[in-house]
Structure 1
């Protein structure tokens, strides 16, 4: 399928260009050429991927904001385990479809689904071990969202090897059952477009024994892991291994550009720098990390080592690309008590954030995107130049205003690998997806 987009201004691999025609052919950008034709879009940007999500958690957004006493990540997790006991395979597919629709309307073109919900309530395996992975794949097919599916290996309740309990049993795999799950996941995505990818995700140092992490790391493709998110995790890993989480991980596997380290909130400057120099992506989830009270990453160490970062929505408590980037930047401003801390001298904070997120997610999701350039996937987002926050602005000031003064309401059109899935600010299948999504949310929220 081919399409030509005429942009009044576009942020291309070579920088901002005015009055250009972008030709899409076979899901990729075929050409970028000057054009005298009337623009069909005002502002065209590369559309980033969302590199970290647990789709089912979208249904519990807003349900954990009451003080229960010493609230933290661990108390939130206990509530999450109780909630997921109500989820059926149909629920998982409907929620994932609604979530992907929301993400596309927010300007994301692709999703890295860190998929750890595998079993029925109580931990009983489904007849098809990849039943729920297939539901995530079906949601991607329904919405047209680019998908990097990351089945999660989750084997134990902690570094002491304790058994999984309660809601955790829905995540459980052995290495043998995980191999069957991976085979089923490959079959589930086989009918999706060829920009779909399959990776692997050892859940964390707590949930997977060291030798199993090393074996899983031998699989080809993207590899994602939660690491150093919580101070309690740092203390547990130190107590059992004598090393901090990021250092312990680096002793088990060869960090490389295939790795994405999710959160790494409590990595030291030395650890973050080592991971960055190895080419690993720092997978940041600023809204979730703020919501859970995780802490603030030392981004200076990532940047000074030339590292890449990307953005994920993790618990999906809120779907807003602009707000994720704004939250990341504001956390650094608060920590350093300085303005524009992530931009170099004379550079734009908005462009630094946006362009960095595009490049990091493209690497993390093994997706040939990240910039508007011939040969790259046509992951694109068009903004409305008449939006109040953007009116009269050009170049990097568009990104500054979009992130710091605007919101995702300025998103008008989105293409995922050339699939034109958002038009006029609405997903093309919203009228079909939204009713089931809303009905499922209403039912589950009464159960929870």
Structure 2
């Protein structure tokens, strides 16, 4: 396949009349200043597509169900109780249908890949399925239907709290001791070998409250390569509990006790001191930020300016998938900083474009977190690409160097015309090629699920 773009972001440069030749999922050749050939796929503006580095796909089906205030003050913890009751009804068919819808929506929003932080492993009562990786297999099936690039992250979740409290209720579906977990990871790797070549499998100790230092060390020894994702400091109550039990705040404890390198992604590194923020940036790990979900749950605001000043890598994810909007994730990331600091253009160095800084930073950080050779347009890179419509009123008056500012701060959803995931051309003229079948199956599944609630 060849693509011709009127304008394309190649590395850090805006180029005109660009022609890309794709082969075996990668960009094999780039030409600039050339005309389109008769068989080219012609687009307006071509960009590196982002990876959505953190998703719990099943939570998409809960969107709108948790916005009624209960007695007293609602918080993440009251939301979590509702989530547990919801997931108690999920069947494997529900999981697959919901994931396919979510992955399709991500691609239509401009994401080429997803990191699925997958912690629902068992039946409602906590007993394993006949095939322990049954629900992971459903995630792989959804990725196959949609063509999205998948980094599957089976989650180690053993305890109900940092004091090694027993799991109960909705948490029973998550449970694995470290040995069973490692067998699950091997099963997932077998599934990956039968999937698209760009599929990856990583590991995900859920959090310092859901595992122990001993178990995490054992799992890390057994998996010396590949992505490692962890929830780290989402809630103040979590930070206090970890500090009381382990003698240090969660980010500080992890950096002091574990070899955190560039294969790590710390999700919700929300509550950090300045010293922790700089240390995380210097580790080479990626800060996994989910601004829409973090705002929806009332988590707090990331220490963004200090982190970027220290050269930290970051990416974005849609987490609970209450809303899947690439532009809004980046916009809310910057706007949260502005509201806190009562200033403008915070997450950027002097003279630079905020939109470009956020978009290109998230593209590179997301690719790193998901172990994808992507995040920019270059020869030999995976063809994770997205095209947008420059003729839209939100963009048509802008110069090339202003396009990403317009996309992040001014544009509505729906400007994506095409998305390629490792060369798989899955979104065309703004619609996923399998949209009708995926949507039909989702509606059937959700009608069944609602009847069970």
For normalisation by structure 1, the TM-score amounts to: 0.98
Does the 8 Å CA contact 1:107/1:408 hold for their aligned counterparts? no
TM-score (norm 2): 0.97
Distance in 2 (alpha carbons) for counterparts of 1:354 and 1:77:
31
> Which residue of structure 1 lines up, in the alignment, with residue 206 of structure 2?
203
Give the match's secondary structure for 1:109: strand
Counterpart in the other structure of 1:153 = 156
CA contact (8 A) 1:270 1:301 kept: no
Q: Matched residues in 1 for 2:194 and 2:399: separation?
A: 41
Structure 1, unpaired ranges of 5+: none
8 Å CA contact 1:27, 1:377 repeated in 2: yes
C-alpha separation in 1, matches of 2:271 and 2:344: 23
Counterpart CA distance in 1 for 2:176 and 2:320 is: 22
Match of 1:53 among 52, 55, 58: 55
Aligned to 1:4: 2
Instruction: Give CA deviations for 1:158-206 in whole Å, capped at 9, x if unaligned.
Output: 1111100100000000112112211111112221111111100000000
What is the match of residue 271 of structure 2?
Answer: 266
1:25 maps to 2:23? yes
Contact 1:227–1:261 (CA<8 Å) still a contact in 2? yes
State the alpha-carbon separation in 1 of the partners of residues 5 and 199 from structure 2: 27
- The answer to whether residue 358 in structure 2 is matched with residue 353 in structure 1 is yes
Q: Retained in 1: the 8 A contact 2:178–2:218?
A: no
Q: How many residues align?
A: 446
* Structure 2 counterpart of 1:229, from 234, 237, 243: 234
Q: Of 173, 181, 189, which residue of structure 1 is paired with 2:184?
A: 181
Deviation readout 1:29-62 (Å, 9 max, x if unpaired): 1111124325811100000100000011111011
Is the aligned partner of 1:166 residue 2:143? Answer: no
Change (3 A) 1:394 1:439: farther
Aligned residue runs from structure 1 range 30-179, under 5 A: 30-38=28-36, 40-68=42-70, 69-179=72-182
> Which residue is 1:299 aligned to?
304
Distance across 2 between alignment mates of 1:27 and 1:392: 34
Q: How do 1:419-434 and structure 2 match up within 5 A?
A: 419-434=424-439
Using the alignment, how far apart are the partners of 1:341 and 1:256 within structure 2? 27
Query: Does the 8 Å CA contact 1:50/1:313 hold for their aligned counterparts?
Result: yes
Moved more, 237-246 or 146-155: 237-246
Structure 2: segments with no counterpart, 5+ residues: none
Q: CA deviation at 1:400?
A: 0.7
CA contact under 8 A between 2:239 and 2:250: conserved in structure 1? yes
- Whole-angstrom CA distance in 1 between matches of 2:361 and 2:450: 36
CA distance in 2, matches of 1:14, 1:355: 9
The structural deviation recorded for 1:391 is: 1.3
User: 2:417 is matched with which residue?
Assistant: 412
* Residue in 2 that maps onto 1:365: 370
Q: Is the 8 A contact 2:182 2:219 kept in 1?
A: no
Q: Secondary structure at the match of 2:441?
A: helix
